[in-house]
Amino acid sequence: MAECDNCGRTIGKLESGREWRDHLVCSDCFNRLSPPRQYPTTPQKSETPRIFKWAAWLIVIVVLVFLFDYIGHYYSRQADLQEEEFRLNQH
């Protein structure tokens, strides 16, 4: 009597064992082991990450613009403070 190589269950006389990658398995295991139907990859799948890439770049650019704006304001404020300090020292 044959046994299923996967679950070890005895394959019944009337039940015909199935071959799965050089292994004799019961029909239950064969269905479980068989990979799900492969669907052809749609071109939409490769389009989506590209949009995300663009969005990521847009975020990076926006962040950089804000960062440079902030740095610019910071340095101009520092210059104003130095100017005021200089003015106060003169008095």
Contact positions vs Zn ion (CB under 5 A)? 4, 6-7, 9, 26, 29
Which lies closer to Zn ion via its Cβ, residue 13 or residue 87? 13
CB 44, min distance to Zn ion, A: 38
Which lies closer to Zn ion via its Cβ, residue 9 or residue 53? 9
Which lies closer to Zn ion via its Cβ, residue 6 or residue 15? 6
Distance CA 88, CA 3 (A): 97
The gap from C-alpha 53 to its chain's centroid, in whole angstroms, comes to 12
Q: Which two tokens stand for residue 76?
A: 């101009």
CB 11, min distance to Zn ion, A: 8
Find out whether 2 and 24 touch, Cβ atoms under 8 Å.
yes
Q: In the chain, which ranges are continuous DSSP H helix?
A: 27-33, 43-90
CB 1, min distance to Zn ion, A: 14
